[in-house]
Amino acid sequence: METKAFIFDLDGVIVFTDKFHYQAWKKMADRMGICFDETINNRLRGVSRMDSLEIILERYEGAPLSQPEKEALAEEKNESYRKLLATMTPADVTDQVRETLKELRGRGYKLAIGSSSKNARFILEKVELLDAFDAISDGNNIANSKPDPEVFLKAAEYLGEDPAACIVVEDAYAGVDAAKAGGMCAAAIGDAASYEKADYKLEVFEDLLKIGL
């Protein structure tokens, strides 16, 4: 089927906020006396906030936490994260990303964000890229995080396109799995570029312009 749209993961593809996630989770974990390092942090990529918290709590040695207590911890992390996000500026998006998105749109493709983050709109506003996308599917409108394909299927729905006509751009294995589970092609960049399930392997973001040519 002819490609009609591109759906982009946000963190690690359009912007890079991994360091902010790490700092925010680290602050919460240290306060709780939980061991948390870069190795554990790598397991959180593409994972929802509550699922990420469960991974961190694997090393928690205190009394069992109630659901409200867990939700409070997740919100504590998010408050720290949003304070860090507030420091972002348009300079946090490369010219290559901006120009590639503009060129794809100029060629008639629809563009969407498909991110597990509940802060996607906030981030896009801070980097002045909100208008670059025709639709946003994020953690606020899904019940299941990647590798479940829900976030990408919702994005295709919002764009009014068949999933088979969409290419997902991802930097995480779980994201590539989600794209394939949703019947979409997957273009992998960064860590996921070596994943055998990816249909396209990108060395740099602008390699997207070679797809379909």
CATH number at residue 118: 3.40.50.1000
Question: Do residues 205 and 106 share a domain?
Answer: yes
> pLDDT at residue 17 above 70?
yes
To the nearest 10 degrees (0 to 180), the angle between helices 67-85 and 18-32 is 140
Same structural domain, 194 and 147: yes
Domain of 74: which CATH number? 1.10.150.240
Statement to judge: residues 73 and 173 lie in one domain: no
Q: In this prediction, what percent of the chain has a pLDDT beyond 70?
A: 99
Q: Are 150 and 143 in contact (CB under 8 A)?
A: yes
Domain span at 204 = 5-16+90-210
183: exposed, middle or buried (C-beta count within 10 Å: 0-12, 13-18, 19+)? Answer: middle
Angle at 202 between CA 206 and CA 12, to 5 degrees: 85
Residue that finishes a domain, picked among 27, 52, 85: 85
Handedness of CA 139, 93, 41, 184 (dihedral sign): positive
Taking CB atoms within 8 Å and a gap of at least 24, the contacts of 98-105 are 98/129, 98/132, 99/206, 100/205, 100/206, 100/208, 100/209, 101/129, 101/132, 102/132, 103/209, 104/6, 104/208, 104/209, 105/132
Taking the C-alpha atoms of residue 59 and residue 54, their distance in angstroms, rounded to an integer, is 9
Asked if pLDDT for residue 213 goes beyond 80, the answer is no
- Quick check: is 9 catalytic? yes
Residue 12: left if φ>0, alpha if ψ -120 to 50, beta else—which one? left
Catalytic residue among 11, 148, 171, 177: 11
Average pLDDT rounded to a whole number, residues 9-32: 95
What average pLDDT is seen over the chain? 95
51 in active site:
no
Residues 32 and 97 in one domain: no
Residue 185 exposed, middle or buried by CB count within 10 Å (0-12, 13-18, 19+): buried
Last residue of a domain, one of 85, 106, 129: 85
Let me know whether 137 and 199 are in one domain.
Answer: yes
Tens digit of each residue's pLDDT (9 = 90 or more) over 58-87 = 999 999 999 999 999 999 999 999 999 999
What integer pLDDT is reported at residue 48 of this predicted model? 81
The catalytically annotated residue of 9, 138, 148, 171 is: 9
Same domain, 122 and 74: no
Asked if 117 and 40 sit in the same domain, the reply is no
Q: What is the CA radius of gyration of the chain?
A: 17
Q: What is the pLDDT of residues 162-189, one digit of tens each?
A: 999 999 999 999 999 999 999 999 999 9
Number of domains the chain contains: 2
Residues in contact with 169: Cβ distance below 8 Å, sequence separation at least 6, in sequence order: 6, 7, 8, 9, 13, 187, 189, 202, 208
* pLDDT at position 212: 60
Q: 139 with 55, same domain?
A: no
